[in-house]
Amino acid sequence: MKNRIFMYLFVFALLLVLFQYMNAKSAFESYEAKIVQLRDKAEDCEKRIIELEDENFELMHFNMETNDDALSYFENQGLDATKLMDIIKDEIFSLNVYTGDDHPLVPYASMTDNKIMINTIKLVNHKWILADFSDGKYWGEIFMTYEVNEKSELKFKVVEHFLYPPTTY
C-alpha cells in the first residue's frame, strides 16, 4: 500500500512537472513572438524617424530661421534678426485689423460676409515672405517682398498672388 501511494505521488508529481513545462514553453514562445514583433515595429519606427528627420532638414532649407546668410544680412545692419522676424510677423498680422472691404496686402475682396485675414506667414529669407489668406470659404496665397529702411520701417510689396477655386462637396 505504501508503494502504491508513492507511485501515485510520483505519477502526480510527474504530471505536474509536465504540465508546468508545457505551460512555460507556450508562454516562452508567446513572449518570443511578441519580442520579434516589437523589434520589427521598433525598426520600422527608427526608419520613419530617419525619414522625418530628412524631410525636416529639407523643409528647413527655405526658412529664414536657419538661413545664415539672411540672418547675417540683418546683423550686418545692426538689427537683431530674431526680434525682427517677430516684428515682421506681428506687423503683417496687425494688418488683419482693417476697416472697409479691402485688406491692405491681399488684392482680393471677400466674397462672404467675413473679412479676409492672413493666417500663416513663412519668412523665406531676408527679402521674401509667403503667406496664406482666407475669408472662411475662399483662400489663397501671396508672395511678397519686404524691406527695412534706415528708420527701421517695414515696407511690403505683393509680387504674386492667387486664389484657389472653390471646392464643391
Tens digits of residue pLDDT in 69-108: 888 888 888 888 889 999 999 999 999 998 888 889 999 8
| One domain, residues 99 and 47 | no
For residue 78, being part of any structural domain is answered with yes
Task: Please give the tally of structural domains in the chain.
Answer: 2
What is the reported pLDDT for 102? 86
Give the residue numbers spanning the domain of 14. Answer: 1-59
**Is there a single domain that holds both residue 50 and residue 79?**
no
Last residue of a domain, one of 59, 75, 95: 59
The whole-number pLDDT of residue 77 equals 85
Shared-domain flag, residues 91 and 159: yes
Shared domain check, 39 and 101: no
Cβ-proximal residues to 71 (8 Å cutoff; 6+ apart), any chain: 64, 81, 126
Q: Copy the grid coordinates of residue 14.
A: 510527474
Using CA atoms, how far apart are residues 167 and 169, in angstroms rounded to an integer?
7
pLDDT reading at 169 higher than 80? no
Per-residue model confidence (pLDDT) at position 124:
92
Instruction: Judge whether 50 lies within some domain.
Output: yes
The strand ranges marked E within the chain are: 117-123, 128-134, 139-148, 154-163
With both helix axes pointing from N to C terminus, report the angle between 68-76 and 81-94 in degrees, rounded to the nearest 10: 90
Whether residues 55 and 125 fall in one domain:
no
Mean pLDDT rounded to a whole number for the chain: 89
* Percent share of the chain, pLDDT over 70: 99
Output phi, psi for 24, to 5 deg.
-65, -40
Of 13, 41, 59, the domain-final residue: 59
